[in-house]
Copies of this chain bind each other. A is one copy, B any other.
Amino acid sequence: MTTTQPKSAGTDQSHLRQGEVTVPLPEQTDAGLYFIGRVRTPWQSRKECPKNVRESRERGTVCQIEVDPRWQAAMAGLETCTHLIVLYWMDRARRDLVVQTPRRYPEGRPTFALRSPVRPNPIALAVVELRKVEGNVLHVVGVDCLDGTPLLDIKPYFASTDSIPDANVGWHAARKAAEAAED
């Protein structure tokens, strides 16, 4: 198979932050992904990039989802959707951290409790607002990735099953409350 990510990108021990824990990656991958397009954003470096979907939405930057012409016939009907789920491949993220220390957190956090791109399968998920469709290009608000990030999938967002307004992430809410108490 072809991969854009050298093996060393997922296993380099020299760039670990305080509290981070790695595991050995499996010898082989189990299935293959096709890159079906690219996400076009104005952000060329991590520093410029919004740190998550919330920040991207607050900025309101309209970005482009460019679908490979091979798949364009699969896009009809998307223009009737107000919101989409977009999956993209964070090809620069290491894959072997089970506990990680995001820049803004003081201590290590387990990977699956975070939305960080660093995870065994670095599939990012953004719920985006669809502004316009032009041929094989979707104009959207809400992606949080670098320009050129590989696209994996586009799905319609169904409020009936995807929207849980009262869902709670307990550890995160507790942290926010503690921060507010400190202010």
Report the interface size class on chain A. 35 or more
B152–A113 touching, CB < 8 Å: no
Do A164 and B153 contact each other (CB < 8 Å), given the known contacts A78-B113, A113-B78?
no
Indicate the member of A4, A5, A155, A157 with the most B CB atoms within 10 Å: A155
Number of this chain's copies in the assembly equals 2
Q: Which residues 9-46 in A have Cβ within 8 Å of B in the complex? A: 21, 23-26, 28-36
A119 at the interface (CB under 8 A from B): yes
How far, in whole Å, are A95 and B32 apart by their CA atoms in the complex? 11
Do A1 and B28 contact each other (CB < 8 Å), given the known contacts A123-B152, A159-B164?
yes
Minimal beta-carbon separation of A174 from chain B (angstroms): 8
Q: Which residues 86-106 in A have Cβ within 8 Å of B in the complex? A: 87, 89, 91, 95, 97-99
How far, in whole Å, are A56 and B159 apart by their CA atoms in the complex? 16
A8 at the interface (CB under 8 A from B): no
Minimal beta-carbon separation of A109 from chain B (angstroms): 7
A172–B153 touching, CB < 8 Å: no
Q: What are the nearest 4 A-B pairs in CB distance?
A: A29-B32, A80-B170, A77-B113, A74-B111
Name A residues whose Cβ lies closer than 8 Å to a Cβ of B.
1-5, 21, 23-26, 28-36, 52-54, 57, 70-83, 85, 87, 89, 91, 95, 97-99, 109-115, 119-121, 123, 125, 127, 150, 152-172, 174
With contacts A77-B113, A80-B171, A83-B164 known, what are 6 further pairs, Cβ within 8 A? A4-B31, A31-B35, A57-B161, A82-B166, A125-B155, A159-B167
